[in-house]
Structure 1
C-alpha cells in the first residue's frame, strides 16, 4: 500500500456489530491493527451480549482508537449498525468512509484492506466484499439462502449482485445520515440498504473476497425463517395482497362465465375478465399503495397503476381467449390461473420499479457533496 493511501486510513472508520463474541473478535482487532493500520478508528457495538462475554468488550474498551458502544438488550444487527453510524456522524464528522465488518472471523484483515483500497481508488462508490457461493465447501443453508436472495433481488429489482448478504461493506460517509433512517433493525436492514443504493443510483462495486465459514457457520445469529421473512417482507406483503385480489378476480370471473357463456358465446371470456379485473383492481391498488409499497404520492401512482392495470387485463383476456379458441384446451379458469401467475410476477416488478417507485430524495445527490 503506497504512502498516499496509508495517510488516508485514519479517515476510515471500521464498524463491528457484535453479539455474544468469543476470542475471534479479539484476534480480528489484533490482525486489523497489524495488517491494516495501528491507528485506524474502530467502533464496536455490543448488541446486548450475555454477561459472560463482557470481558471481551472490557478488554477492547481499554485499547486506543477503539470505541465500544452498548445496547442494554439485543436489538439486532441493523440497529447496531445505526447506533455506530450515529456515533460516527457525531464524533468523526470529517471521516471519508465507514467499513462494516462481521466480528465472527468471516472477514479477513487482508480482504478488509482490499475493499478499503478499492474505495480509495474509486471514491463515492459503495464497495461490497463479495464471496463465491459456488464452492461445495459452503454450508448448504448459506449457499441456498444467498442464491435465492440473489435471484429474487436480481429479477424483482434489477440489481445484479454476486453476494447480497455480505457484511463487509465500505460506505461513503455522505450516505450515513440517510442509512440511519432506513427501515429494519435486524438482517433485513442490510438488504434494505442495497435497495436504497439502487433507488438513489449510488454506484456499487463488488470486490471478490475469501469465503470463510468457521465451524460450518454455527456462530451465525441469522435465523433462516424469521430473518428471511423480514428480508422478503415487501414481496410477501405483495403476495398477500395479490392472493386476496386474485381470489376475488377468479370468483367473479367464474360466476360471470357461468352466467354469460350462453348469451355471449364469442366474447364471454373477455367480458368476464374485464368485469372481474375492475372489481378486484380498486382493492388491489389501495392495498398495494398503503400496505405493500407504502407510497405516499397519489396522482402519479394511480395513473401508472391504471395504465398497468389495463395492459395486464388486455394481456390476460386476449391470451386466454386465444388459447381457448385456437387450441384443444378449453378449461378457461385453469388457463387463466396459469397466465395470470406469469403476469403476477411481471406485475410485481413493474409496480415496485415504476408504479410505486419512491420519489427522488436529496440523497440522490449525495455523491456530489463529497
Structure 2
C-alpha cells in the first residue's frame, strides 16, 4: 500500500486536478491532503469527492509541520504503507507522481528536475545549485535536486521521519541531511521540470525561508571554520614550541574542540547543556582526532607540507563532523508518540 501525501496552503483547482489524474493512473494509491490553515475553500471538498482524506490545521504551521501531521496519520492508520509526498501547486505531473510511487522499494526516492529551459526562474536555478553544493559539503552525497517536493519513502522510514525537526521548508533539507547520517539509500528519478507563471504559486519566501533552510549548515560551516583557524594557529605555535607533530595535533585539537563544542551547542544546534551531549562530543572529538592524526601523518609522509596536510584533512572530515553532531550529539530526542500527540489531527467531512 502507498499513500500520496500532499501538504496544501491556499491551494487552487490544480490540487484536485492532480489528484484526479493520479486516481486515473493508479486507483490503488491512497490520497491524503493536509490543509495547513487555509481559508475556507471548495477545493478541499473537491479533494474529498475524489476519495481523499483531508486533515486540517487550525492555523498555518508550515510545510514541515503539515508533512509530519500527514505522516503521523499514516503511522497510526497505515503503519505498513509507503509514502509519496507531492506539492499542491501544479509543479508535479501525475505521471511522475505515479512513477516515483512505483519506484519506492527501500530508502528514499527523489523526483529530480533538470532545471533546463528558459521558463525556469533564476532564483530556482541558483537556489537549488547552492543547496546541492552545501548538502554535498556536509554529507558527501551528490543530489541533483535537494529542494524537490516529490519524494517517496519506504514504510519503515515513517517513524524516523516523525522525529526530524523543522516546521517549514527547512524540514525537507533536514530529512536529506539526517538520511545521509543514517546511511539511508537515496534513489534519484528524473521528472519533468514545471514552473507556472514564474513559480508565482509557490509559498516559499525567498529571503526568510532560505535563511531557515540554510541557517544550520551556514552556522555549522562558520563554526567549523572558526575552530579550524584556532586549531591551525595552535598547531603552528605548539609545533614550533615542542617539535612534536603528535603532541601539537593533540594540544591544538583540545583548544579548538572546546571552542567548537561551545559554539555548536549554544548557537548552531541550540541544545541545552547535558552530560549526554558532552560525552558524545568527547567521543566524536576523540575519533576525529585519531582520524586527524592518521591523515596528517599520511599526507606529510607523502610529501605535503604541514599546513597543506592540515587543510586537506579538515576538508575531508567536516561533513562527518556535521552529520554526527546534528544527528547524535546534539539531537533533540522525540518519540513517535509525542509527535503524534502534538500533531493535533483534526478531520472534517
Q: Which TM-score applies when normalising by structure 1?
A: 0.72
- Give the C-alpha shift of residue 170 in structure 1: 1.6
2:283 aligns to what? Answer: 300
Are 1:102 and 2:97 an aligned pair?
no
1:87 aligns to what? Answer: 73
Distance in 2 between residues matched to 1:250 and 1:159, nearest whole Å:
27
CA RMSD of aligned residues (A): 3.9
Of 339, 342, 349, 2:319 maps to: 349
The 3 A distance-change label for structure 1 pair 230 and 344 is: farther
Answer yes or no: is the 8 Å Cα contact 1:281–1:309 preserved in 2: no
How big is each residue's C-alpha offset from its partner over 1:206-247, in whole Å with a ceiling of 9 and x where there is no partner?
111111111111111112222222222332222343465467
How big is each residue's C-alpha offset from its partner over 1:280-322, in whole Å with a ceiling of 9 and x where there is no partner?
442224434665466834352231244356679989999xx96
Distance in 1 between residues matched to 2:297 and 2:257, nearest whole Å:
13
2:132 aligns to what? Answer: 150
- Give the C-alpha shift of residue 15 in structure 1: 0.7
Distance in 1 between residues matched to 2:23 and 2:195, nearest whole Å:
22
The 3 A distance-change label for structure 1 pair 316 and 248 is: farther
Are 1:287 and 2:263 an aligned pair?
yes
Distance in 1 between residues matched to 2:119 and 2:311, nearest whole Å:
36
Distance in 2 between residues matched to 1:312 and 1:187, nearest whole Å:
37
Q: Give the gaps of 5 or more residues in structure 1.
A: 1-10, 324-335, 362-370
1:44 aligns to what? Answer: 33
Answer yes or no: is the 8 Å Cα contact 1:36–1:109 preserved in 2: no
Of 17, 33, 58, 2:7 maps to: 17
Aligned residues: 323
- Give the C-alpha shift of residue 344 in structure 1: 5.4
Answer yes or no: is the 8 Å Cα contact 2:181–2:324 preserved in 1: no
- Give the number of the structure whose alpha-carbon radius of gyration is greater: 1
2:211 aligns to what? Answer: 229
SS at structure 2 position matched to 1:232: helix
Higher RCO (CA-CA < 8 Å; seq separation 6+): 2
Distance in 2 between residues matched to 1:287 and 1:89, nearest whole Å:
36
The 3 A distance-change label for structure 1 pair 278 and 92 is: closer
Q: Report the more deviating stretch, 275-284 or 216-225.
A: 275-284
Q: Give the gaps of 5 or more residues in structure 2.
A: 334-349
